Amino acid sequence: MTKRNNLLIFILTIGVFGILNTEMGVIGILPSIADHFQVSVSKAGMLVSLFALAVAVSGPTMPLLFSGINRKKVMLLVLGVFVLGNIVSIFTSNFTILLIARIIPAFFHPIYCSLAFSVAAASVSKEEAPKAVSKVFIGVSAGIVIGVPVSSLIASAVSLQMAMVFFALVNALAFIATLLFVPSMPVEERLSYGAQLSVLKKSITWLSIVTVILLNSAIFGVYSYLADYLKTVTNMPSYSISLMLFIYGGANIIGNIVAGNLLTKNANKSVISYPFVLGAVYIILFFTGQFSIPMAIITLTWGILAGIGGNIAQYWIMSAAPETPDFANGLFLTSANLGTTFGAALGGLFISEIGTQYVVLVGILSLILSLLTILLRNYMYSPTKQLSA
């Protein structure tokens, strides 16, 4: 990989970090937002839920609409929208305006993220593409892992506005770096909307979408309730729970690096093995989750596997529709968000009906179903044609 490609991928990673930081970082300051704008915490939570909904809705459509425009210009547009949204968030005293200032950028979120994945992949050889994409995924993980505690720390140590300044600065940094160092990237072969949408006629695309929904459900259906699990089942004190969440997040970043190597060496084998490996971890979790030391080891391993899982999900949809990379990545983002929503809802149902300890069953059930769809796709489509061995 040349220095120029490394710089490009680094800038894309910073850009993705800035966007995910804006999306997830607000979780760390929801109580402060509720106090500042004099709304309930549940109403403040709309800043998270409506953002995610906007991403899910615009995932397939917005990358498609912008697919024929110079990629550098599109990235600058999206980052500019995020900077402006963050600036409005800093100065507004009206909650409705704050909500609008977050929802509008959310619709542009899938454009940048899908472009970042496809540009990173296109900047290297086909064999090295999974490694390049895995580096961009580090920005996704870092945005989730670092954004929440850092925004919370800034809000408590300085002010709510300064936490929002942090969001704006990261996006502004990515905007300036893109403007100065990213070359112009005109679209050489523009595919018609019809040609891109035609991938939805293929059963391999839909099998892959269902697989990604199930894989994300397997991860987030359990992870969404990790803090509650550690409190009620493992009986950990609050400071230990915070440490465990940090361990999970750090391990997630490691998983992204590992995933690049795994998918480069043998993608098909990695995808098929994944449900078995994560399933084994969940089974161990089910039987030893009440013990602190095994739980710490499980959380570390689980975090690494979750990082790998995100890369596998993105690869699985991309390999189903390689002819339309931007649209395929948009489908991935929507599928991933739907999987997160479905898994979290199912996890909540299991907890309310049979108890927190049994939320692990949501992950195991989702993994069994995902394995079936993976094997079905491999049975219907020759691995030598559809996958890089």
- CATH code, 113: 1.20.1250.20
Among 340, 307, 335, CA closest to 136: 307
**Could you tell me if residue 238 is inside a domain?**
yes
For the segment 298-307, what is each residue's pLDDT rounded down to a tens digit? 999 999 999 9
Instruction: Please enumerate, as own/partner, the contacts of 45-53 that have beta carbons within 8 Å and a separation of 24 or more.
Output: 46/99, 47/98, 47/99, 47/102, 48/23, 48/24, 50/99, 50/102, 50/103, 50/106, 51/23, 51/26, 51/102, 51/103, 51/106, 51/109, 52/23, 52/106, 52/337, 52/340, 52/341
Last residue of a domain, one of 159, 181, 203: 181
Q: Which of 124, 155, 181 is the last residue of a domain?
A: 181
Predicted confidence (pLDDT) per residue in 80-101, tens digit: 999 999 999 999 999 999 999 9
Which of 116-130, 203-217, 241-255 is predicted most confidently?
203-217
Task: Look at the chain and report how many structural domains it folds into.
Answer: 2
Residue-level pLDDT at 1: 52
C-alpha to C-alpha distance for 108 and 23, rounded to whole angstroms: 12
Q: How far apart are CA 303 and CA 284, in angstroms?
A: 15
Same domain, yes or no: 29 and 62 = yes
CA distance 108 to 81: 8
User: Do both 177 and 227 map to the same domain?
Assistant: no
Give a yes or no: residue 8 inside a domain.
yes
Asked if residue 186 belongs to a domain, the reply is: no
When pLDDT is cut at 50, 70 and 90, the band that residue 386 belongs to is: very low
Decide if 240 is inside a domain: yes
User: What pLDDT is recorded for position 304?
Assistant: 95
pLDDT digits (tens, 9 = 90+) for 199-243: 888 889 999 999 999 999 999 888 878 878 888 899 988 778 878
Clarify whether residues 123 and 52 are in a common domain.
Answer: yes
Q: Note whether 113 and 198 are same-domain residues.
A: no
Assess if residue 187 is contained within a domain: no
Domain membership of residue 131 (yes or no) is: yes
Any domain includes 382: yes
325-354 vs 95-122: helix crossing angle, rounded to 10: 120
pLDDT tens digits, one per residue of 148-204 = 778 878 888 888 899 899 999 999 999 999 999 998 988 877 667 777 788 888 889
Contact criterion met (CB below 8 Å) for 377 and 211: yes
**201 and 338 both lie in a single domain:** yes
Could you tell me if 131 and 215 lie in one domain? no
- 228 lies in a domain? yes
Q: Give me 19's structure tokens.
A: 């966007």
Q: How far apart are CA 108 and CA 232, in angstroms?
A: 39
Is the same domain home to 240 and 144? no
Average pLDDT (116-141) is 87
Lowest mean pLDDT among 5-9, 16-20, 39-43, 356-360: 39-43
Statement to judge: residues 176 and 197 lie in one domain: no
Residue range(s) defining the domain that contains residue 99: 3-181
Tell me which of 181, 207, 241 is where a domain ends.
181
Are residue 13 and residue 157 in the same domain, yes or no? Answer: yes
- In this structure, the answer to whether residues 226 and 344 fall within a common structural domain is yes
Residues 221 and 340 in one domain: yes
Residues 221 and 80 in one domain: no
Dist. CA 304–CA 84, nearest whole Å: 35
